[in-house]
Structure 1
Amino acid sequence: MSLTPTRVVETHQLADHSVDLRMPLLALMAVVVGTGGAVGAWVLVKLIAIATNLFWFGRISADDSVITDSNVGLLVVVVPVIGSLLVGLMARFGSEKIRGHGIPEAIETILFGESRLSLKVALLKPLSSAISIGSGGPFGAEGPIIMTGGAIGSLFAQCFHLSAAERKTLLVAGAAAGMTAIFGTPLAAILLAVEVLLFEWKPRSFVPVVVAAIVSLAWRPLFLGSGPMFPMIATAPDSSWGLLAAAGIGLLVGFEAMLLSTSLYRIEDLFHKLPVHWMWWPAIGAIIVGLGGLIDAHVLGAGYASIEALLTGSLALKVVVALLAVKALVWLVALGSGTSGGVLAPLLILGGAAGFLIGQFLPGDASVWAMIGMAGIMSGAMRAPMTGALFAVELTGHFEAVPYTITAAGAAYAISVLLMRRSILTEKIARRGRHILQEYTVDPLDLLQAAQLMTPHPQTLSGGMTIEQTLAFFTTQAKHRSYPVVDAEGRLIGLVSRTDALRWQVDQSLAKTLLSDAISDSVQPVAYPDTPSGVVADLIIETGVGRIPIVDRETRKVLGILSRQDLLKARSANRLAETGRDRFVGRTNPAS
């Protein structure tokens, strides 16, 4: 009797994490990506400075300048329109991917584009964003640099034979490096990668992202300076009521985040109803931006000076009120028009302004409450509570305020997920027909091994049966599509299926052939009791065999069968653990 060749699933040594030598390889590659992200951030900052000087001061210079220092009179309405018209032309005839926040486009590329960004996007995104921000667009540089840094990582990854998951790792590493270089916030950049971009929690992706962020931080003093971006000297409240007040601010700015997100997409819907090509939308929206600049020039540009003023408490109360109202309007209209720009800096201003105003009625320095408001609104709008809490304290160097920022971030996150189905980032992707789930859970199949799900002692067929007997069995007795075939000692020979029976039925010459001989040329998949169920599921998909024999590693005897239906039991048990509710303490019969 000729034994059947079998395809065996070799089980690697089981461990807490799936990791191999690809992780250190990606970490080494992340050194290059981190450097590229830092350079990309420096280039973006210089491009914004050049654009600002050119649009508002009529000079060619890469020195830092503030739009509020310019004196262009009524041209303040015209300049944003010119810049936005240029951005619309670049998007129309360059790449449509440069439109929007930057972060949603990065998420979409990761989940649906195999983490492949083009050189065109890497070049046009920072240029278009610099023109948009430099001409008065009320945006920050974080979205563009995340997209640019991600493009650098993606392009570098595409030079090598890497999987889509490995390209994703380097794309996100580049994004984290860019954010670290701009703001000097490596912890927040790493957490943003985990909470918003990676959609997994694995050493293979986490370690390279950390490497890229730290490499970028090391380059930052050379390119952009060192230390916190907005250093604070105010002290945090040192009492329990401070935590309660932080929670209250978190709830309020979480509600503010919901209103901003809802308003943004309603405005975007209005732009879609305009009877003109989308190329013209940014210029139309820029009219509102210019009019807002006439009311208060502080609403124009990235607004980092306004963030600093809120955190130092140097803004007059009426200016903060105007900033909150006008900045929200011009930012929502500009972003809804589809121009190029980020969401983080405007959110910090709006959350900080809300916190500053609430702080007028609370003991202590209003600038501290502004920082707490910034942490809350970032958490509520982006659904990234840890990122929001750490970003605020890293920006200011005010690490003793962590209990208050995490309280506000947690409260804002809670109200946001209760009241909004999607975040300001994922709503844009959902409108393109793609659903995203931002909850991380362990696959139940990865928690269970084959022995825990298999059907033990399955019915088998003897290799000594004839084809004639086998056909009779499938005609009158078979309940499944396939069965294990064993020898006299119960050792697996292979599998026989209904498809085999149909094929043999047309060849009468095989009637007396032994079943073991008929299947001896086939290759059959098998697994062991300690094989992870997820590996068996992959084997079912790969081979198309719906029932995988589970055999003893030493004796090769059949112990069980793991079918598609058995695998679904794991999902059913997991869903029951989520939804099934019971009480044990106080039951009449606790043992039941």
Structure 2
Amino acid sequence: MSTEIDADNGSGPSPDSDNDVKTDTDGPRRRTGPLGDFTVTPRVLVIVAWAVPVGVLGAVAAWLLLRLIGLITNMVFADRISTTVVNPGTVGAPWWVILGAPVVGGLVVGLMARYGSEKIRGHGMPEAIEGVLFRRAVVEPKVALLKPTSAAVSIGTGGPFGAEGPIIMTGGAIGSVLAQRLDVTDDERRALMVAGAAAGMAATFNAPLASVLLAVELLLFEWRPRSFLPVTAAVVVATLLRGPLLGYEPIFGLDTSTWHITATSDALCLLAGALGGLLAVAVTALVYASEDGFLRFGRRLHWMWWPAIGGLIIGLGGLVVPRALGVGYDVIGDLLSGRAALSLVVGILVVKSLIWGLSLGSGTSGGVLAPTFMIGAALGALEGFVLPSAGPGFWALVGLAATVGGVMRSPLTGVVFSLELTHAWPALLPLLIASAAAYGVSVLVLGRSVLTEKIARRGRHLSREYAVDPLEYGFADEVMDPAPVVVRVGDPVPELRDGGLGRQRLFPVLDGGDLVGVVGRGVLRRDPADWVAHVVTDPVAVGPDDTLAVVRDRLAAAGVTVAPVVDGDRLLGLVSVEDLLERRQSVAGANRARASAGGTT
């Protein structure tokens, strides 16, 4: 153990273990904490209580956003006052409106971003992820107002985007702003921020379970009671409010009574899923190729003008396929019900993909989920003209789930979203096959998703893989040095100093058999006359049944690299950072050895 510690850097937690140790008289010792497998305290109930109003506000924000989108769409394209969400391409607007409205909308969004808040640029999910992971879940209050307003302007003037990204950012801002006014920790503020985001999603799509899964897979980066319970509370409240605000029925309810799903259908879902994964790869590459193009072009033109250029692309696409404009819930419904003609299917698949990917790279405001629904359903509908029929809309639904699983890299969310949007419960197994296949293709071909690539381009790194940390299932007494060099009160320090220190850097000080403190190696070297005055009497200590993760956290919190392991006042050994690294390295080495021998990790 070659780790050094200053003698005066010893403040830290008490030496008592957080876990109780119980011994069976006829069996091995069992290690059980006061809360079993979970790290949670009764304070989580307080956060759950605060998540309830967050859920209410998230539902209201979703309702207001959809009404505002409908109002702007009707005013711009139909010259009327109405808050009903309509497709801009179905109201008979003249060609110059279809071409020019997205340009004006992009210009307004650019001005709002430059003079309001640059954080409203983009589709919302990467910004929410950054807020959760890198900004301590702190969001400016003005973002809660500017993000939905800019999204309503962008979508209402024909932008081919969804409302979910902006509502995630808006709901998250609501939870964050509330939490900033409460006496809460960073983790609790993060839970409330994600609770608001998930509540907005649940109210928008009437999909509570998918919203919770999306929060876990895309925003929380953990599955713990401290965050899961508040998020679920907010989602439940928002879903209950969704009924009187926006309706109780599924958005794209399907009649599955005539479906006949066979083993052949299930097998062909592998092919459909792989094609969905390739589509996900293509549109993701298109988004970032567009962003690269705007960045190169931006050397001569301020980014404020980019959304207007993206709007021109949207307008040109709208002239070719007018129904590709806007959120397009009606188009998704036609695709899923099997009512869409081949011309519409191909037009949506090609034009929607192009105008969405190219305009999103301009930094305008709008979400990715609804466009992904549409192009995925279009791909599946196109496959339905070739593959054996299993029922109206079956292959469109399979394509939707596959594309969501590939674009978002959230296969479970893709499956559950598809089921909750349509209530097509018999399609569970086919959707799981297709979504998993698309996810596999996406991760094999692309290094990052449409969400994480944007974050990586800002100099951040994150991993969305879930795994058990080896330090979570090891204990302090398994890796400690059980026979460290100790200093006893009354020991002849000069003699000890001359040959008994070895390479050890921290020395427990014992009075009889009891630990009374610790002293650093430097003190014993430079001040042998009165070293007792430098003994740290309240050292950072851990118990034998503390997990190595607890040991790591205590060392990090105190800024030290080695600690005594104690049972009451009795010294059992020393544990250091090197011991933790050796445990992690031994697990990693075993995995590498298995992989090189042809095993799995």
TM more than 0.5 = yes
Deviations 1:88-120 (A, max 9, x none): 100010001111011110001101010011111
Residue 584 to residue 376, structure 1, CA distance change in 2 (3 Å): closer
CA contact (8 A) 1:117 1:154 kept: yes
Confirm whether residue 316 of structure 1 aligns to residue 341 of structure 2.
yes
> Counterpart of 1:187?
209
Change (3 A) 1:5 1:37: closer
Query: Structure 2 residue aligned with 1:435, among 453, 456, 461?
Result: 461
Task: State the one-letter code of the partner of 1:41.
Answer: A
1:550 corresponds to 2:597: no
Deviation at 1:504, TM superposition (A): 1.2
Taking the TM superposition and a 5 Å limit, the aligned residue runs for 1:173-322 are 173-234=195-256, 235-274=258-297, 275-322=300-347
Task: Determine which of 334, 339, 353 is the counterpart of 2:378.
Answer: 353
Provide the secondary structure at the position in 2 that maps to 1:529.
Answer: coil
Write the mapping of 1:473-512 to structure 2, written as runs, cut at 5 A.
473=499, 477-488=501-512, 490-504=513-527, 510=529
Asked which structure has the greater RCO (Cα within 8 Å, sep 6+), the reply is: 2
Shift of residue 502 of structure 1? Answer: 4.5
- Cα distance, 1:584 vs. partner? 11
Report the more deviating stretch, 522-531 or 423-432: 522-531
* Distance (whole Å) between structure 1 residues aligned to residue 149 and residue 519 of structure 2: 63
For the 8 Å contact 2:507–2:521, the answer to whether it is kept is no
Structure 2 residue aligned with 1:570: 583
Further displaced range: 245-254 or 528-537: 528-537
Q: What code does the residue aligned with 1:64 have?
A: V
What CA distance in whole angstroms lies between the structure 2 residues aligned with 1:246 and 1:265? Answer: 28
Q: CA deviation at 1:219?
A: 0.2
Deviation at 1:464, TM superposition (A): 1.8
- What displacement does 1:491 show? 2.6
| RMSD (Å) for aligned C-alpha atoms | 2.0
Q: 1:376 aligns with which of 399, 402, 416?
A: 402
Sort the Cα spacing of 1:522 and 1:560 in 2 relative to 1 into closer, same or farther, 3 A. closer
Which residue, out of 77, 88, 103, partners 1:81?
103
Cα deviation per residue 1:355-387 (whole Å; 9 max; x = unaligned)?
Answer: 111111122235110011100110111110100
Distance 1:223-1:188 versus aligned 2 partners, 3 A rule:
same
Assess if the C-alpha contact under 8 Å between 1:33 and 1:152 holds in 2: yes
Provide the secondary structure at the position in 2 that maps to 1:496.
Answer: strand
Instruction: Please report how far the alpha carbon of residue 582 of structure 1 lies from its aligned counterpart in structure 2 after TM superposition.
Output: 7.5
Query: Which residue of structure 1 aligns with residue 163 of structure 2?
Result: 141
**Residue ranges of structure 2 left out of the alignment (5+ in a row):** 1-9, 21-32
Equivalent residue for 1:98, pick from 120, 138, 142: 120
Taking a change above 3 Å as real, the CA distance of residues 5 and 38 of structure 1, as seen in their structure-2 partners, is closer
Report the alpha carbon displacement of residue 136 of structure 1 after superposing the two structures with TM.
Answer: 0.2
State how far apart, in whole Å, the 1-side matches of 2:401 and 2:16 are.
Answer: 48
CA gap of 1:82–1:548, structure 2 versus 1, over 3 A, is same
Distance 1:98 1:469, change over 3 A: same
1:289 Cα shift? 0.7
Residue by residue over 1:58-107, the C-alpha shift from the partner in whole angstroms, topping out at 9 and shown as x without a partner, is 23332333312132223311111011110110001000111101111000
In 2, are the aligned partners of 1:253 and 1:376 still within 8 Å (CA)?
Answer: yes
Distance, in Å, in 1 between the alignment partners of 2:368 and 2:252 is 18
> Equivalent residues in 2 for 1:59-74 (5 A)?
59-67=80-88, 68-74=90-96
| Matched residues, number | 569
Q: Which moved more, 1:57-66 or 1:343-352?
A: 57-66
Q: In structure 1, what is the equivalent of residue 533 of structure 2?
A: 518
Q: 1:527 aligns with which of 542, 549, 568?
A: 542
Q: Judge conservation of contact 2:164–2:369 (CA < 8 Å) in 1.
A: yes
In structure 1, what is the Cα distance between the partners aligned to 2:85 and 2:597? 65
C-alpha separation in 1, matches of 2:174 and 2:411: 27
**Kept in 2: contact 1:84–1:132 (CA 8 A):** yes
Cα offsets for 1:192-240 (capped at 9, x unmatched): 0111110111011111111111111100111111110011114444221
The answer to whether the Cα contact below 8 Å between 2:98 and 2:319 also exists between their aligned partners in 1 is yes
Distance 1:160 1:290 in 2: 46
1:435 CA displacement: 0.7
Query: Using a 3 Å threshold, how does the CA distance of structure 1 residues 73 and 540 change in structure 2: closer, same or farther?
Result: closer
Give % identity: 45
* TM-aligned CA deviation for residue 570 of structure 1: 2.0
- Secondary structure at the aligned position of 2:527 is classed as helix
- In the alignment, is the contact (CA less than 8 A) between 1:292 and 1:330 conserved in 2? yes
Equivalent residue number for residue 537 of structure 1: 552
The 8 Å contact of residues 351 and 377 in structure 1, kept in 2 or not, is answered as: yes
Structure 2 length as normaliser, TM-score? Answer: 0.91
Counterpart residue type for residue 465 of structure 1: D
User: Structure 1 residues 73 and 22, CA, compared in 2 at 3 Å: closer, same or farther?
Assistant: same
